[in-house]
Amino acid sequence: MMKIRLLLAACALGAALPAFSQDNAVNQDSAVIKQGQEDMGSLVDALTPKAPMRTRSIKVLRDETGLPAAAQPKVSLLITFETNSATLTARSRQSLDVVGQALASGKLAPFRFAIEGHADPRGSSTANLRLSQLRAESVRAYLVDTMRIDATRLDAVGKGDREPMNKASIDAPENRRVTIVNLSR
């Protein structure tokens, strides 16, 4: 009887582990940093490319250029804006000061980044795409003009409402965010 219970427990655990691993993989796709909790060291670590990905046979995966493929590190920042505008708030500018310091660090200086603007799904998709592009451009302009980050290192990309982080609550603040993606491999 004890062996049967152990066998059933092992089967249940085995069935639960793949689901847990898949959920973690999705959640680890992007580090999420809330406004006011930015830390230069954490940002630098989160945006630094990791070692090339390997398959089970220890072969190095390669991208379309033939170079070793590495995951593109990204960080989602909860940067706030004035309602229905691309104007940065004072608190957002403080957060972006830390981001600018991280991007200027020796560890991240050689890399290019995408500044992705996201919007929540309220309103039309067309308006949300335009607003998210303006917000990404606003963040890029602040980093270039105020933090003196080389403009050629930053691309502004509006994602609109296509990638909500919180699908259960469409008006959640995390759906109105900026994501910084390291484009270098």
Pick from 40-54, 77-91, 168-182: least confident: 40-54
Q: How many residues does the chain have?
A: 185
What is the distance between the alpha carbons of residues 176 and 165, in angstroms, rounded to a whole number? 9
**Edge-to-edge order in the sheet of strand 154-160:** 31-33, 74-77, 178-182, 113-118, 154-160
pLDDT at 30: 53
pLDDT at 130: 97
Residue in the block written with tokens 């593109």: 72
Query: Between 89 and 142, whose confidence is greater?
Result: 142
Confirm if 81 and 177 have CB atoms less than 8 A apart: no
What is the distance between the alpha carbons of residues 135 and 140, in angstroms, rounded to a whole number? 9
pLDDT band at 78 (very low <50, low <70, confident <90, very high): confident
For 30-75, the pLDDT digits (tens) are: 555 555 545 677 788 778 887 655 555 555 554 444 444 445 777 7
Q: Is the pLDDT confidence value at 177 over 50?
A: yes
pLDDT at 133: 97
What is the distance between the alpha carbons of residues 25 and 19, in angstroms, rounded to a whole number? 10
pLDDT at 28: 35
pLDDT band at 8 (very low <50, low <70, confident <90, very high): very low
Query: For the domain 31-182, what is the CATH superfamily, name and number?
Result: OmpA-like domain (3.30.1330.60)
pLDDT at 51: 61
pLDDT at 156: 98
Tell me the whole-structure pTM to 2 decimals.
Answer: 0.68
Q: How far is CA 120 from CA 12, 42, 87, 128, in A?
A: 38, 26, 17, 8
What is the distance between the alpha carbons of residues 119 and 162, in angstroms, rounded to a whole number? 8
Per-residue exposure over 133-163, b if at least 16 CB sit within 10 Å of its own CB, e if not: bbbbbbbbbbbbeebebeeebbebbbbbbeb
Q: Identify the DSSP state of 152.
A: G
pLDDT band at 25 (very low <50, low <70, confident <90, very high): very low
Q: What are the residue boundaries of the structural domains of the chain, listed by start? A: 31-182
Residue in the block written with tokens 């909790």: 37
For 95-145, the pLDDT digits (tens) are: 899 999 999 999 999 999 999 999 989 889 999 999 999 999 999 999 999
Per-residue exposure over 86-107, b if at least 16 CB sit within 10 Å of its own CB, e if not: bebeeebeebbbbbbbbbbeee
pLDDT at 138: 96
